[in-house]
Amino acid sequence: MQKIIFRDMRDLDLTHIFECGQCFRWVPDGEGTYTGAAGSFAARVRFDGSDLTVETTGGDEAFWRHYFDLDTDYGSIKRRLTESEPLIRPATEYGHGIRILNQDPFEMIISFIISQNNNIPRIRKNIESLCGKYGEPIEGSDRHAFPSPEALAGADEEDLAAMRLGYRGPYIIAAAQKYLECGCPGCREELLSYYGIGPKVANCIMLFGLRDTAAFPVDTWVKQIMNDMYGFDMKDAKGMQAFAAEKYGDLAGYAQQYLFYYYRDRSRK
Partner DNA sequence: TGCCAGGTGATCG
Partner DNA sequence: CGATCACATGGC
Enzyme catalytic residues: 200
Answer yes or no whether residue 200 interacts with DNA by CB under 7 A: yes
How many chain residues are in contact with DNA, going by CB under 7 A?
37
Phi-psi region of 59 (alpha: psi -120 to 50; beta: other; left: phi over 0): left
**Among 36, 199, 239, 249, interactor with DNA by CB under 7 A:** 199
Shortest approach of DNA to residue 13 CB, angstroms?
16
Shortest approach of DNA to residue 221 CB, angstroms?
6
> What burial class does residue 89 get, using C-beta atoms within 10 Å of its C-beta: 0-12 exposed, 13-18 middle, 19+ buried?
middle
Shortest approach of DNA to residue 228 CB, angstroms?
13
> What burial class does residue 112 get, using C-beta atoms within 10 Å of its C-beta: 0-12 exposed, 13-18 middle, 19+ buried?
buried
Residue closer to DNA, measured from CB, 161 or 214: 161
- Terminal C-alpha separation, the chain: 36
CB 233 within 8 A of CB 194: no
Residue closer to DNA, measured from CB, 161 or 245: 161
Answer yes or no whether residue 197 interacts with DNA by CB under 7 A: yes
The closest alpha carbon to 147, from 37, 45, 44, belongs to: 37
Residue closer to DNA, measured from CB, 9 or 202: 202
Helix (H, G, I), strand (E, B) or coil at 73: coil
Residues near DNA (CB under 7 A) are 20-22, 115-123, 161, 164, 166-167, 194-202, 204, 217, 219-222, 235, 238, 256-257, 260, 264
